[in-house]
Structure 1
Amino acid sequence: MDRFIDAAIGYPTAVLTALLLVVLVYWLLALVGWVDFESTGIDLELAPQTEGDAGELSTLAGYVMALGLSGVPFSIVVSLLVLVAWTLSCLAGEWLMPWVPTLLLHVVVGTGVLLLSVALAIFVTALLVRPLRGLFVTHQAMGNASLVGQTCTVMSQRVDERHGHAEVAQRGANLQIQVHAETPNTLTKGMPAYILEYDAAANRYLIRGEP
């Protein structure tokens, strides 16, 4: 146990121990609801304000994508990276570093252990992140205006300037929408119709029967 503690607080693991404590505090704050882990991180779609920022963000995004660390909240990536690197460095500090004879060699070997632990941690984290990506897929909701131009099926007995509803066929559950139409018309239940425009104020669609 003493060797483990010495390894955790000694060089090089002490650097990662400090980072691990920061990660633990962060997740404690997330647990009580003071921070949102899904919204914390690097937004690769963010439009930067300056050309310098754009270049830096593009370079960082490229590294993240190339290393296979994308697809999950950045806070999770950092947490896994620090935890894996700390574990590897701590094991090396417990079993390898005590055999290093001098202080100079201790610093040199310790620096090598730190860099190697981080490098291996990136590889391991990329493997751990891969099965988690499906849990954080963002599905873009269909906007109301996107239905314009599609066809629908009238579900009410009639459709006039004030009344009517219809159904739009979609993958999964069909969409039920409020509609209206100019009169006179021949629209009745079960008839197909075209969606011409969307009235945002009334939250309904103007439709017209097929010719």
Structure 2
Amino acid sequence: MDRLIEAATGYPTAVLSALLLVVLVYWLLALVGWVDFESSGIDVELQADGDPGELSTLAGYVVALGLNGVPFSVVASLLVLVAWTISCLAGEWLMPWVPTMVLQLLVGTGVLLVSVALAIFITARLIRPLRGLFVTHQAVGNASFIGQPCTILSLKVDQRSGYAQVAQRGANIQISVWTPDANRLTKGDVTRILDYDEASGRYLVEAQP
């Protein structure tokens, strides 16, 4: 136990120990609800004062390393934990064999870099099965129906009332429709959606040619 404590508080593991302490505090705050750890993943957004080229390059590295698809807090926590574990083991079993202070600094720096590199590799594989837990689905917007065909459900469609259904993958969606030409559409007719009125929540439709 003494060797473990010495390794965790000595160079280079002390650097990662400080980061691990930050991670532990963060998750304690998340546990009590003071911070929100969830996000759609590691998203690099373009800020008003940001360089699009640099940000796109950073995003490319994130994807290339396989660190995308889960919240950044999860990725950062795993990176720190894995790197700390590797560095701590190296500090416990390797560093005591290094004789001089200068060599300890050089070897310790190498251990730190190798620990981080291995942590990236291991973390990328650890988060792979977790990506399915953080998939977000965009809701279908009303305007997305414009241009699609729909089938009339009501006996008639006029300027005041009418119902139809839009075929979607998995289930059909029923919508309110209207047309300026009364009595031209009836149940079973296939029409095309032309526009959506947000005020009334209805779609303008016309008969298919």
Q: Structure 1 length normalisation: TM-score?
A: 0.90
Q: 1:40 to 1:27 in 2, by over 3 A?
A: farther
- 2:39 and 2:70 in contact (8 A); partners too: no
- 1:41 and 1:75 in contact (8 A); partners too: no
1:8 corresponds in structure 2 to 8
RMSD: 1.9
2:91 corresponds in structure 1 to 93
Q: Secondary structure at the match of 1:208?
A: strand
- 1:40 and 1:75 in contact (8 A); partners too: no
Structure 1 residues without counterparts, runs of 5 or longer:
none
1:38 corresponds in structure 2 to 38
Q: 1:40 to 1:2 in 2, by over 3 A?
A: farther
Residue 183 of structure 1 and its aligned partner are, at CA, apart by: 3.5
Please tell me the residue identity of whatever aligns with 2:48: Q
1:182-201 map, 5 Å:
182-201=180-199
Q: Structure 2 length normalisation: TM-score?
A: 0.91
List, as ranges, runs of 4+ consecutive aligned residues in structure 1 with deviation greater than 6 Å.
none
Give me the whole-angstrom Cα distance separating, in 2, the residues matched to 1:210 and 1:49.
Answer: 46
- 2:37 and 2:71 in contact (8 A); partners too: yes
**Identity among equivalent pairs (%):** 72
Q: Secondary structure at the match of 1:169?
A: strand
- 1:153 and 1:190 in contact (8 A); partners too: yes
1:18-167 map, 5 Å:
18-39=18-39, 43-44=43-44, 46-50=45-49, 53-167=51-165
Structure 2 residues without counterparts, runs of 5 or longer:
none
Residue 62 of structure 1 and its aligned partner are, at CA, apart by: 2.2
Give me the whole-angstrom Cα distance separating, in 1, the residues matched to 2:196 and 2:156.
Answer: 19
Q: Secondary structure at the match of 2:183?
A: coil
Please tell me the residue identity of whatever aligns with 2:39: S
> Number of paired residues?
209
Give me the whole-angstrom Cα distance separating, in 1, the residues matched to 2:46 and 2:106.
Answer: 42
- 2:83 and 2:118 in contact (8 A); partners too: yes
Deviates more, 1:157-166 or 1:170-179: 157-166
Residue 42 of structure 1 and its aligned partner are, at CA, apart by: 5.1
Residue 144 of structure 1 and its aligned partner are, at CA, apart by: 0.9
